[in-house]
Amino acid sequence: MKLSQLFTKTSKASPAEAESVNAQLLARAGFVYQQMAGVYNYLPLGLRVLKKIQHIVREEMDALGGQELLMPTLTSEADYKKTGRDTIDVLFRTEGHSKSALVLNPSHEEVVTPLVQKFVFSYNDLPTAVYQIQTKFRNEPRAKSGLLRGREFMMKDMYSFHTSEDDLNTFYERALERYHKVYTRLGLGDLTVVASASGGMFTKDISHEFQTLCPIGEDTIYLCEKCNKAVNQEISMDHARCPQCGASPMVEKKSIEVGNIFKLKTKYTSAFDFKYKDETGITHPVIMGCYGIGISRLMGALVEVFHDDKGMIWPESVAPFKVHLMALGNDESARAKTDELYETLTRAGVEALYDDRVKASTGEKLSDADLIGIPYRVIVSPKTLAENAVEIKKRDEKEARLASFAHCVSELM
């Protein structure tokens, strides 16, 4: 994509309402635009990142055997009365014709449980797992951390259905492994740990949270630095000793919850009287699990974790483009060579953002490249042309280096 064609612009100043680093940098670089507190527009650069996060999550959920579907945003309040969740404080409500009470789904247990019930009757139909990537609505009281806490936000939610707790446990362990793969592919593998936590508003059982270590995180966990086991502060009675390996002490850390998984068991299936018939024709309640990933929160978390004083530093797997190309020195032959490089890369399927702006100064081009944070910066100028070369620098490297055109292209392939 050519930068001159992009309708968004970067800005030096952060919007006044942007309090967190992710909100500031994403807004300054033109990735998002805040509509109101906790509600964002995803602009072309930001949407590319969001889609890449979705793609990774989708591949891993498909590999787990999840079947993707898309459930509605609007649901009748009556379904929430069945589970008792009509009283939760973050629920957004609206009204249909004849004053029918509607809810904007904060998650989809009340939709997915009766939906799957329509198709699943016997042990033969189980286990099964469905997932979606969809917008959720929660009237969060403190929507001040940019994408970390939205009132309208994007989540991947998966729900699994089983004949027994054993079968749920087996699937749950596989889901845990897949979740690790997701965070590793996002570049957050080393920073993301599994914490035991309470089931929150969903269940009395323990849940597992995927917590990305980050000083600005809202959550506090106790981490065993020997075996990486973590426990959320909210359930930790004794954090002197690791419950898994016995090492002590556990270290207090701040973290961002980027996903969590619950064994719902029969909480929702009994509310909807969802049962299956076993081999002998006897009916039993279906056993259920649920598995969430904060897609848009992850975009914010990646910025919080990977940035410096100049801007964002995207991991290659989710960067909006792989290469940020520019010609410097207001020079015809440098421009022609950059055009050629852009064509070559694009034809080879390498995603390149080409800063082809004629009026932008060298300083503007360089500071925009740092702000936007694309992994590779490639510069062509009269100076590099004199060496028959281009200058390559990775966003997280200090020093640039010269490379021949052929080398440059093969490195970026």
- Which stretches of the chain bind ligand ATP, using CB under 6 A? 107, 138, 140, 149-150, 153, 155, 200, 257-260, 292, 294, 296-297
> Exposed, middle or buried, 99 (CB in 10 Å: 0-12/13-18/19+)?
exposed
**Rounded-to-5 percentages of helix, strand, coil across the chain:** 35, 30, 35
Q: Least distance (Å) from ligand ATP to the CB of residue 247?
A: 27
Q: Least distance (Å) from ligand ATP to the CB of residue 7?
A: 26
Q: Least distance (Å) from ligand ATP to the CB of residue 278?
A: 31
Q: Least distance (Å) from ligand ATP to the CB of residue 197?
A: 8
CA distance 23 to 5: 24
CA distance 155 to 131: 10
Strands 230-232 and 219-223, how do they pair? antiparallel
The residue among 189 and 200 lying less far from ligand ATP, judged by its C-beta, is 200
The residue among 138 and 162 lying less far from ligand ATP, judged by its C-beta, is 138
Q: Where are the beta strands (DSSP E) in 295-389?
A: 307-308, 311-312, 323-327, 352-355, 376-380
Q: Where are the beta strands (DSSP E) in 267-367?
A: 275-277, 283-285, 287-294, 307-308, 311-312, 323-327, 352-355
Q: Least distance (Å) from ligand ATP to the CB of residue 126?
A: 24
CA distance 357 to 86: 53
The residue among 107 and 134 lying less far from ligand ATP, judged by its C-beta, is 107
Q: Least distance (Å) from ligand ATP to the CB of residue 219?
A: 7
Q: Least distance (Å) from ligand ATP to the CB of residue 292?
A: 3
The separation between CA 109 and the C-alpha centre of its own chain, rounded to angstroms, equals 21
Q: Least distance (Å) from ligand ATP to the CB of residue 210?
A: 7
The residue among 292 and 311 lying less far from ligand ATP, judged by its C-beta, is 292
Contact 198, 206 (CB under 8 A): yes
Residue 126 makes CB contacts below 8 A (sequence gap 6+) with: 120, 161, 162, 163, 167, 276, 286
The residue among 198 and 317 lying less far from ligand ATP, judged by its C-beta, is 198
In what helix (H) or strand (E) does residue 67 lie, and over which residues does it extend? strand 67-68
Residue nearest to ligand ATP (CB): 294
The residue among 126 and 195 lying less far from ligand ATP, judged by its C-beta, is 195
The residue among 253 and 297 lying less far from ligand ATP, judged by its C-beta, is 297
The residue among 150 and 373 lying less far from ligand ATP, judged by its C-beta, is 150
The residue among 10 and 211 lying less far from ligand ATP, judged by its C-beta, is 211
> Exposed, middle or buried, 86 (CB in 10 Å: 0-12/13-18/19+)?
middle
Q: What tokens does 287 get?
A: 């056993």
The residue among 46 and 150 lying less far from ligand ATP, judged by its C-beta, is 150
Q: Least distance (Å) from ligand ATP to the CB of residue 227?
A: 23
Phi and psi, residue 314, nearest 5°: -75, 135
Q: Least distance (Å) from ligand ATP to the CB of residue 365?
A: 33
b/e string for 131-146 if b means 16 or more Cβ within 10 A?
bbbbebbbbbeebebb
CA distance 113 to 176: 22
Q: What tokens does 138 get?
A: 């929660």
